[in-house]
């Protein structure tokens, strides 16, 4: 799913050129549009009947043009709607399809800027842009609290004899990457390094309700 159908199709073509043989369906999805979210859920339900993994990779940084209160409120609310609220809404919408999978997983792409401990420790350089940072703090809260809510649901279902469908929620901090999102920042890492953490979470058996990064060739749990 992509906010731009053209961008999604270009990415699918690039993957095919790199040798990916799997079928790739491209759906346009504005995560702030509930009608489009419902259409995406319907498409997956009709064509696949379940969802194994949901990766929430939506996110924006919006520069505040001036700090008048109306402008400040409007800009922050817009950023939170995309970076935080829409992730919770999309995830909730797909939850029933996820529960039909054997080992479903939700992976939220966050940022190291969202770690409260690392921010207060001041042990590493962190971009000084509070609105984006606290949107990622909130996203990490979505990961943690949805896991607790899901665990409660699962304990009830397990008591009724269910043996599959327990969703595991993760946050991934990919770090600064050379992508369009960062204007291909020269200091950024190869995007493949950021994706490696996602791949390992999909393939591995990591405890849910946790945050991870891939550094120096291995997985490292990131403190909240």
Give 71's contacts (C-beta < 8 A, 6+ positions apart). Answer: 64, 65
SS3 (DSSP) at 157? helix
- Number of helical (H) and strand (E) elements in the chain, helices listed first: 7, 5
Q: Residue 58: name the closest of 36, 34, 86 by CA.
A: 86
Instruction: Point out the catalytic residue in the list 43, 128, 129, 132.
Output: 132
Rg (alpha carbons) of the chain, rounded to whole number: 18
In the residue annotation, 43 being an active-site residue is answered as no
Closest to 93 in 3D by CA, of 41, 47, 164: 41
The one catalytic residue in 23, 42, 103, 136 is: 136
Tell me the C-alpha distance between 160 and 144, whole Å. 25
206 is catalytic: no
From residue 211, how far is each of 3, 118, 156, 175 by CA, in Å?
25, 13, 26, 13
**Crossing angle of helices 69-80/130-159, nearest 10°?**
40
* Pure H helices in the chain: 5-17, 34-48, 69-80, 86-98, 116-121, 130-159, 191-203
Just list the catalytic residues: 132, 136
């Amino acid at each position: 799913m992509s906010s731009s159908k053209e961008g999604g199709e270009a990415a699918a073509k690039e993957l095919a050129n790199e040798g990916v043989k799997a079928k790739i369906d491209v759906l346009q999805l504005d995560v702030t549009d509930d009608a489009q979210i419902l259409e995406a859920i319907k498409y997956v339900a009709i064509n696949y009947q379940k969802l194994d993994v949901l990766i929430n990779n939506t996110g924006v940084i919006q520069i505040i043009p001036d700090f008048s209160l109306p402008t400040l409120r409007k800009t922050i609310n817009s950023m939170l709607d995309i970076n935080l609220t829409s992730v919770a809404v999309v995830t909730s919408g797909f939850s029933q399809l996820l529960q039909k999978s054997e080992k479903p997983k939700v992976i939220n792409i966050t940022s190291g800027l969202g770690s409260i401990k690392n921010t207060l420790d001041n042990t590493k350089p962190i971009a000084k842009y509070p609105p984006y940072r606290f949107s990622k703090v909130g996203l990490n809260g979505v990961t943690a609290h949805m896991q607790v809510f899901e665990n409660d649901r699962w304990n009830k279902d397990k008591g009724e004899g269910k043996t599959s469908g327990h969703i595991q929620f993760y946050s991934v901090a990919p770090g600064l990457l050379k992508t369009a999102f960062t204007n291909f920042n020269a200091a950024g890492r190869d995007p493949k390094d950021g994706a490696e953490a996602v791949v390992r979470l999909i393939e591995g058996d990591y405890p849910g309700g946790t945050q991870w990064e891939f550094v120096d060739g291995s997985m490292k749990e990131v403190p909240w």
